[in-house]
Chains A and B, each alone.
Chain A
Amino acid sequence: MVTDKSNGNGYPPMIELKDVSKSYWTAAGDFLALKQIDLEIYAGEFVSVIGKSGSGKSTLLNMITGIDRPTVGEVWVNGTALHELDENELAVWRGGNMGIIFQFFQLLPALSLLQNVILPMDLAGKYTRRERRERAEHLLDLVGLVEHGNKLPSMVSGGQQQRAAMARAIANDPTIVIADEPTGNLDSRTAETVFGLFNDLSQQGKTIIIVTHDSSLARRATRTALITDGEIVNEYVAKALPALNPDQLLAATHKVQPRQFEPGAMILVEGKNSDAFYVVSKGTVEVVLPRPNQSYVAVLELGPGKYFGEMEFFHERRNRASIRASRGGPVEVLTMDYETLAALLGESETTREALRQAAARHEQENVEWRDVNE
């Protein structure tokens, strides 16, 4: 089971996938597109889902939108069990709660841009007829297309169609907006414009999930989920070891073990034997140095995605500093034994070098801190 969690500041997640697997029957046999996915997305997050072709990104998105159903598992969105709704109920629910943007725009070709934006409002029965038109014009104005409202999709550019599709997606003011490769068919400049619109929506408090293959765009989201072979790579492992390829990251995800610590608990004690590499996944940890009065002073805070234990890996296997859970809240770290780490670094010289340099830097900092504090 692969788990990817984030802290929603105590609020329950807006979107939750619980042990979701999806398999398809093909002439060549069963194909497992998603494998035991657990995913939580909180309200207001701007999440990008990235992965190679065939990794299961769109399938994952289809689970969240209800376009597809899990073979096993549960899909909860805003308190609604999507996996229990029938097709009709899903259609109605989507119309009122979710906006979807597709890679190929998917505007109805016989309707003008304005009519395409009115369409979801007609289907949901939301707003009066007059309000629908006014709102559609307003939304087209937001995306810079109001003067093109009476044109058919075939008469405008791809970028303009995608912007119109975005206006359609938010016609019923949904709380969640889902986009599957929204910039996949656009040039970089237009993609930039479209992405800017997503930022605007995110700032308005909407929960945005975007599937993209473009890692540079993905990084502009507040959170990234990497999916490989139907499994989500732990995002903190990915943050900690970015130079690993997706397969290596997945292998690392499988190997790490989560450990929880209470606030203030010591995770590593200086001088003791060290046997693992650590990545912070929840909460913060403090690097603490001893004072002469036998108290500790926190010299550095490490949040989710940060790591420690690399110095010990490259040098003698004895803790170079103490690490404790910060007093602000419980902490979870992902641990990886050195043997596993060694094997991984053996496959990625880049990662090895990065970690070695980080170890050297941290070693230097350690020395400087001690000098200051002594």
Chain B
Amino acid sequence: MGVLWYKVWSDLWNSKTRTLLAVLSIAAGVFAIGVMFGMSDLLITNLDESHQEVMPPHLNVILGEPVDLDTLLELRHVPGVEDVDPYNSLSILYRLKPQSEWRQGLVFMRDDFDAQKYELVQLRAGDWPERNELGVERMAAQFLGVGIGDEITIKTGDRERTLPITGLIRHPFVPPPQFMDLAVYFMDERGLERLGIPPGKFSAFYVRVTPYSTDYVKEVATGIKSRLAAQNIRVAAFVYQDPDRHWGRTFFDGITLILRLLALISVMVGAVLVYNTLANLITQQRNQIGILKAVGGRIRTITHMYLASALVYGILALALALPLGSLVAFAMTKGFLNLFNIDYSQFEVSSQAIVLQVLSALAAPLLAALPPVLQGARLTVRQAIASYGLGGNFGSNRLDRLVEGIGQRWLPSHYATALGNLFRHKGRLFLTQLVLIAAGSAFLIVMSLMSSISFTLDNIFARQRYDTMLQFSQNQQRARLDTLSRSVDGVEQIELRLVQPASMYLSGQLIKEGGIGSNIMGIPADSTFFRPLMVKGRWIETGDGRAVVITRQTAEREGIQIGDRVTLDLGELGEGEWQVVGVYEPVFASGFVSETIYAPSDSLFKAIRRSNLGSVLYVRTASHTAEYQAAVTDQLKHLFESHNLKVDASQTESELRSQYAFQFSTVTSMLMGLSVVVAVVGGIALMGALSIAVVERTKEIGVLRAIGARSRTILGIFVMEGLLQGVLSWVVSVPISVLASRLVAGSLGEAMFGATLDYRYGWPAVGVWLAVILVISALASILPARGATRISVRDSLAYA
């Protein structure tokens, strides 16, 4: 092949822009593969390894009140219990400086930090806290900007202590402070005693089960609950954990599936670009192919020559994308792991991602190049050397004549030419449109997803008509709260609800609980604060007796129908039979959320033989701005605390909305980023197609020049063709996205958030995309169009 290898190198080197574009387009896809697959591989491996290292409990039992150690250790005799490891956690308020605001926090206490069995907290710096010392969770320390030696003032009830930080400690199961402002501290038994927790008493404990299975652990949980119930000890909640899978896996599994898919789409889009590039090259070198064949070149020789170019593109792309992808995958993995409080500093690469990157970098361009290369190699000498650019057989079918008719009627002749040129090579038009339509559809689908998210949130908050919520550590009397609340300016209305952990039995069998357990919430039948989205039956009504409304997930999981009767065990408050009158759609139903069963508050009061009390207060304020809601919340908290009414937690409607929006925004940002990449690649594909068109129509350009066409006119023809491509893709993208976005919104919402999104198509985005695609098309057309204006008559008509 001798001089032909030189030609291959020369073609690559002399057309640096084309080579660069092709390499970058493949590199983009290979990079995406490296990042998405690498990140998910490293993340999952490290998440699980880190999770397993801390001896995660199979069961986390949260009690209704503190229990002595011996009682808990007795539970070792419950069949299946391997061991128990007790702990305490206490809600507190803290502040960093005397003048600063009180913030919500949590204190963890372990019996003996050096003798932990399960859910190991790890000392990262300093010493374990003793007596009047405090350990701080290291993520919180970083977030708050505190360290060993700093002092924190903590308050619980009316007890206030200022304590020095002596250790930075890692807890494997805390929410990232960016997501939830809840700093976690650590104290020993003696320290907690000073905060009112009697020594030797524990409000929660960890359990591991032998042998482990998801079903058996629930049986053991029932056994534990029964054993404790026999001693009048109430279990507030069970939290189940998979011993092998990190608790954050659910979130990542959904996202990584989508991201991997998008990475594969990126590779395919890059491959389309390689196809276009090789088609461009073959078109430009048709003559040369003809000459090669005229002087003895076989099909195989020509095929090898051009496939070699594609291989070089792939190798260069791999050289660029592989290290970059590995670095970014590592960085993103590190970022996410750090978010989940997992140390990760040792650089490593995913061998799975490396293999996939190599395969995609080499195989994708070769496969993409094969059709145009084979087509070019199979050209006869006559086809390759024959004149083109004038004549041809456009106009030979109905579509062509229709297009011609439209152009003749509505456009000046040179723009009519552009319209006709668009349909001259239908195969190339199809491929270019494929990429542009993919970009347009992706953009519109993402915008519709965002619109649906926004619509869903609007609907959620339209149903939850409150401005702030405060949760007390104990049930409070309504009358007292009412009196106190009304003394705060800005409070317009309140609603107090009783929340009680509940276990549901159907035909005597305990149902599988989703999330971290169920609660029954008493809500006034005539409440204007909340009305969920009903999917079956009805909401509770005035006059209802023991009626309940359950979640869709529970109803589907257990096959519960409207009218069925269920038994609710409310612990020490007794149990009774209730009738299901409705099924509602919860906001988010996955992960660590308890399912709420709604019942009329009057009926609940009757069932528990108490009345007008509750632990969750919903407040409506005079103004609904975020600042006003926060201000009223603070005033209420101060007021309640000053009256020894301990507030465990509070959240305004704005904060909740921001929290939901933040969770969605991570994913929608990634999707939007990817659709931008596809749009840019689409623009490059269009540029390639127009470049081919300029080469093919060199003689036509020469003729136009010879009969008086100015540069402006030549430019206009190709820019018009580019714009028509853009408009055509827009016209097709819209109906595709209308059809697909509902499906995507439904699937994504369910897969990633356990939420059924209320669907709304993003119609304003249609106009936005039209503007965007016109800009992309115009920009993509400029370079080839300018190239066309530089062709001289002499060169073009001598071109052969």
Contact = CB atoms under 8 A, between A and B. Distances in A.
Interface of A: 26-27, 62, 65-68, 87-88, 90-92, 94-96, 100, 102-104, 106-111, 115-116, 118-120, 122-124, 129, 132, 168, 171-172, 185
B296 A172 contact: yes
Nearest to B301: A123
10 contacts: A26-B391, A26-B393, A27-B395, A27-B396, A90-B293, A91-B299, A94-B294, A111-B3, A111-B6, A111-B7
Given A27-B393, A27-B396, A106-B291, A111 B297 contact: no
Interface string B278-304: 000000000110111111111111000
A66 B800 CA distance: 19
Given A108-B7, A110-B11, A116-B3, 4 more contacts: A100-B294, A100-B295, A107-B291, A108-B288
Nearest to B287: A106
A368 B300 CA distance: 72
B296 A120 contact: yes
B230 interface: no
Contact of B2 (A67, A87, A103, A118): A118
Contact of B299 (A26, A88, A129): A88
A123 B295 contact: yes
A62 B14 CA distance: 32
B380 interface: yes
Instruction: Find the residue from A65, A67, A100, A129 having the highest chain B CB count within 10 A.
Output: A67
B4 A122 contact: yes
B296 A110 contact: no
A91 B395 CA distance: 34
6 closest A-B pairs by CB: A95-B296, A110-B10, A123-B296, A122-B2, A67-B381, A120-B295
Contacts of B396: 27
Nearest to A89: B298
A104 B7 CA distance: 20
Contacts of B290: 106
B299 A67 contact: no
B297 A95 contact: yes
A116 B287 CA distance: 14
Contacts of A107: 291
B378 interface: yes
Interface residues of B, number: 34
Contacts of B3: 111, 115-116, 118-119, 122
Contacts of A67: 294, 380-382, 385
B124 to A, nearest CB: 62
B798 A104 contact: yes
B115 interface: no
A140 to B, nearest CB: 14
Contacts of A118: 2-3
Given A92-B296, A119-B295, A110 B14 contact: yes
B380 A88 contact: no
A168 B294 contact: no
Contacts of A132: 2
Instruction: Find the residue from A62, A91, A102, A132 having the highest chain B CB count within 10 A.
Output: A91
Given A62-B382, A67-B381, A168 B295 contact: yes
Contacts of A87: 293, 299, 378, 380
A355 B3 CA distance: 59
Instruction: Find the residue from B290, B297, B378 having the highest chain A CB count within 10 A.
Output: B297
B1 interface: yes
A338 to B, nearest CB: 45
Nearest to B395: A27
B298 A92 contact: yes
Contacts of B395: 27
A129 B385 contact: no
A370 B529 CA distance: 139
A171 B2 CA distance: 15
Given A62-B382, A67-B385, A104-B800, A94 B6 contact: no
Contacts of B381: 65-68, 90-91
A166 to B, nearest CB: 13
Given A67-B380, A108-B291, A91 B798 contact: no
A95 B382 contact: no
Instruction: Find the residue from B291, B299, B391 having the highest chain A CB count within 10 A.
Output: B291
A168 B300 CA distance: 22
A109 B11 CA distance: 10
A103 B292 CA distance: 16
A335 B7 CA distance: 58
A67 B294 CA distance: 7
A111 B798 CA distance: 20
Nearest to B799: A104
Nearest to A122: B2
Contacts of A92: 296, 298
Nearest to A66: B381
A116 B297 CA distance: 13
Interface string B372-402: 0000001011100100000101011000000
Contacts of A172: 296
B301 A68 contact: no
B6 to A, nearest CB: 7
Contacts of A120: 295-296
A247 B380 CA distance: 33
Interface string B3-31: 11011001100100000000000000000
B2 A129 contact: yes
B382 A68 contact: yes
Nearest to A119: B3
B382 A94 contact: no
Contacts of A129: 2
A118 B391 CA distance: 36
Instruction: Find the residue from B11, B295, B391 having the highest chain A CB count within 10 A.
Output: B295
A115 B145 CA distance: 70
Nearest to A86: B299
Contacts of B391: 26
Contact of A111 (B10, B300, B385): B10
A129 B3 CA distance: 11
Contacts of A27: 393, 395-396
B297 A123 contact: yes
Contacts of A95: 295-297
Interface in B749-765: none
B385 A102 contact: yes
A274 to B, nearest CB: 49
A215 B4 CA distance: 39
A172 B3 CA distance: 16
Interface string B487-498: 000000000000
A194 B14 CA distance: 31
A94 B380 contact: no
Nearest to B10: A110
A118 B1 CA distance: 11
A102 B381 CA distance: 12
A71 to B, nearest CB: 13
Contacts of A122: 1-4
Contacts of B295: 94-95, 100, 119-120, 123, 168, 171
B7 to A, nearest CB: 5
Contact of A91 (B7, B11, B14, B298): B298
A26 B4 CA distance: 36
A103 B6 CA distance: 25
A94 B2 contact: no
Nearest to A109: B288
A262 B381 CA distance: 46
A26 B11 CA distance: 34
Contacts of B292: 108, 119, 123
A180 to B, nearest CB: 10
